[in-house]
Structure 1
Amino acid sequence: MTRDALKALLTPVGLRILGDCPDDDLVITLIGPDEPAFWPIFAASTENKDGRPDPLDRWSRRVLTGVANRLGAEPLFPFGGPPYAPFFTWAKTSGRFWASPINFLVHDEAGLFVSFRGAIRWGGAAQETNAEQPCLTCPNQPCATACPVNAFEDGYNVEACKAHVTSPAGLDCRTKGCRARRACPVGQTNRLPAQAAFHMEAFL
């Protein structure tokens, strides 16, 4: 298996490589949406239209298992537990993710809208990276002050966040996605409103 072969299989299904985590003599390659190409592909899928629960997770399992099988790799997913695979740890180890000022993971290219659809464990070598944490050069760190109800002022106040999002005043967050995530200058124009609304509905 080669990295080019993996990319060639991921691109047509709207997915991309987000980073690598060494795993003894193997490597775990983290995979997420290649936005904005990803959303129309998922939206047209059988899983999104069949009315059954967890359409995105079912789509991810089908698509990434197919990719892994073609390459002789092992598919891994952030759902389906407990126990849950340690995606947060893998991400931090990859050198392409960091804790943001609001303590959500931020990616060097996807910003605060980064998400995982899965990963594959394979026999390649981890790709070296010289990525730099975007928050270190971010003027004013707008994510820290963008939340209308200061839900990130002391940790993450999930109750305050949900109360706001479900209220009339929270229509902007509910239909366009979290304001704090949108405030991140990195990757902020990539996520389509329909995709953001889908994730906010799942969050609620």
Structure 2
Amino acid sequence: MLERIEARAAAEALTILGGFAAEPGDGLPEGTRSLLLLGPREPGFWPHLTAQPEWQDERPDPVDRWSGRVIAALAEEFDAVPVFPFGGPPWWPFYSWALRTGRAFASPVRLIVHDTAGLFFSCRGALALRERLEPPAGVSPCAECPSQPCLTACPTSALGAEGYDVPACHAFLDRPEGTACLDRGCAVRRACPRSQGHARMEAQSAYHMRQFHR
């Protein structure tokens, strides 16, 4: 079943970022026996998304609206419940779910780092399935990264081992020297060696940065 879901998700430029068999305390929808997280499949996610009706109609929140339509359709096809990290309440615990997959980990800067996406981890939604599946786990890329460039990459020291100083980040983005982060994406996320191999387009990072900083 994992292969079938992965194939259908790939048709919409999505991929399974990880999953887990449900246990008590996971905070899942009633009746869930396993959960699969879905996110951008690279290369090709951004060109696919920007060709969709939700992007073309110039209405607000195109990425969330597209995610809702596509993942809801996948859920119907596989008799699952679609769950999203937006549009709450309820606000589902996607951070802890990601860690439960064994493919996402707390990085040295506390952001989630993924075994293939690095610090470009982005979850568009999840499928809460009635079947019990046990997707394979991975290995933290930080275990193979002795230099940990994420710790020193932030040009204004707003993001590091002590956490994230959001006001300092916004203040930096307001200045001319913040243009590189706005146009190319967060310098810390870009510094991760695993992120650099993920093929995420700078246009996608720029969109999310400007949504964050608006």
Q: Give the TM-score, by structure 2 length.
A: 0.90
1:98 paired residue among 105, 128, 133: 105
Please give the per-residue CA displacement for 1:105-130, whole angstroms capped at 9, x wherever unaligned.
00011100011000001133333435
The structure 1 residue matched to 2:202, chosen from 190, 193, 197, is 193
Q: Distance in 1 between matches of 2:89 and 2:135?
A: 31
- Alignment partner, residue 60 of structure 1: 67
More moved, 59-68 vs 129-138: 129-138
Tell me the distance in 2 between the aligned counterparts of 1:168 and 1:123. Answer: 51
Give the structure 1 partner of residue 124 of structure 2: 117
Q: Does 1:8 align with 2:7?
A: yes
Q: Please give the alpha-carbon distance, in whole angstroms, between the structure 1 residues aligned to 2:179 and 2:78.
A: 43
Q: Could you tell me how far apart the structure 1 residues matched to 2:211 and 2:180 are?
A: 16
Segments of 5+ residues of structure 2 without an aligned counterpart are 24-31
Distance in 1 (alpha carbons) for counterparts of 2:6 and 2:147: 35
Give percent identity, aligned residues only.
45
Deviation by residue 1:129-178 (Cα, 9 ceiling, x = unmatched):
35111112203100110000001243210011111123210111001000
Tell me, yes or no, if structure 1 residue 151 matches structure 2 residue 158.
yes
Contact 2:106 2:113 in 1 (8 A): yes
**Gap regions ≥5 residues in structure 1:** none
One-letter amino acid of the structure 2 residue matched with residue 103 of structure 1: R
Letter matched to residue 11 of structure 1: A
For 1:101, what is the secondary structure of its paired residue? coil
Taking only aligned residues, the RMSD between alpha carbons, in angstroms, comes to 1.4
Matched to 2:7, the amino acid is A
What are the within-5 Å matches in structure 2 for residues 163-202 of structure 1? 163-189=171-197, 190-202=199-211
Deviations 1:49-98 (A, max 9, x none): 21211110000000010111111111110001122011111111111111
- Runs of 4+ displaced beyond 6 Å: none
The alpha-carbon deviation at position 7 of structure 1 amounts to 1.2
SS in 2 for 1:68: helix
Q: What TM-score comes out, normalization by structure 1 length? A: 0.95
CA distance in 1: counterparts of 2:64 and 2:140, whole angstroms: 29
* Partner residue of 1:49 out of 38, 43, 56: 56
Instruction: Return the letter of the residue paired with 1:18.
Output: L
- Distance in 2 between the 1:128 and 1:14 partners? 20
CA deviation after TM superposition for structure 1 residue 9, in Å: 1.0
* SS in structure 2 at match of 1:187: helix
The aligned amino acid for 2:21 is: P
Residue equivalent to 1:33: 40
Conserved? CA contact 1:21–1:91, under 8 Å:
no
